[in-house]
Amino acid sequence: MRTESETGHAHRARQAAGEAARAAGAGRGHTIEYSRRIEAYACRIRASSDAAEIVGILDEALRETRALREDEAAEETRRRAADAEREIEALRAELELVRGLLHEDALTGALNRRGLAAAFEREVARAGRSGASLSIVAIDLDHFKKLNDRHGHAAGDRAIVRIAEVAAGALRPSDAFARVGGEEFALVLSEARLEEARLCALRLQAALAATPLEWNGARIALTFSAGVAEWRPGESLEQCLGRADTALYAAKRAGRNRVRAA
């Protein structure tokens, strides 16, 4: 689904490409050809809903604009091309920032589901090249509804942030931690077999238990249940995460604060 932020930046990208085309509109020879190519970039931007694709199109337009500025002798054309180049460069930088924000959960700063999917695809590609293993851990905070009912939604939000903070301190830089639902999280663990992933989840449980949440004079113990699945070649994120979720439900049924392997 295209967000309001993406739509706004795509609109600005069309404006930038249009300005670049106007910079060459009064020219002759190869400048007219440049104008046609920039108009073609604008059409591609109008058809795109993906920030990464728009960044690539802007890179092409930027190269064309720089070449025009270097080749053209007409002062007015050079000035307009330079203005268009600055606008395209600024917009490209903004789009790169937006791409990062689109993969980030607003509350915790962890990855969101889109970011998890990108991390999974990256690790699957690496596993395909090197033959390395890959595992997923599905995590669900225990008794979260009771926490919200007893202490309020602000306390619930703080508990969600706490597990993200603990994960950031306990995991390897190569691991990907994502919030995929209200109190639901997932881990993508590179170069980790099933037992290694299970032990990682247990270490994260211990780290969370060691840092209870202090809230309005109350000391709230936080625990989670987890399910672990090792990726099978050819398996999609949904399939692997689905197996991890099944193991998670088994951990819940067994009494919570447990880790089960698929």
* Structure-block tokens of residue 191: 């170069």
What does pTM read for this prediction?
A: 0.66
pLDDT at residue 18 is higher than 70: no
Kindly give, in sequence order, each residue whose CB lies less than 8 Å from that of residue 163, ignoring residues fewer than 6 positions away: 139, 141, 185, 208, 222, 224
DSSP 73-103: --HHHHHHHHHHHHHHHHHHHHHHHHHHHHT
Averaged pLDDT for residues 25-39: 58
Q: Give the single-character DSSP code of 25.
A: T
Q: Are 189 and 200 in contact (CB under 8 A)?
A: yes
Averaged pLDDT for residues 90-114: 73
Per-residue model confidence as pLDDT tens digits over 123-160: 999 999 999 999 999 999 999 999 999 999 999 999 99
Given the residues 183, 196, 230, 235, the one annotated as active site: 183
Provide the CA 217 distance to its chain's centre, in angstroms.
36
Q: Give the single-character DSSP code of 133.
A: -
Q: Residue 116: phi, psi to the nearest 5? A: -60, -45
Among 95-99, 101-105, 214-218, the range with the most confident prediction by mean pLDDT is 214-218
* Residue carrying structure tokens 């309005």: 216
- Model confidence at 12, pLDDT cuts 50, 70, 90, reads low
Residues 68 and 89: their CA atoms lie apart, in Å, by 15
Per-residue model confidence as pLDDT tens digits over 191-206: 999 999 999 999 999 9
Active site residue 72: no
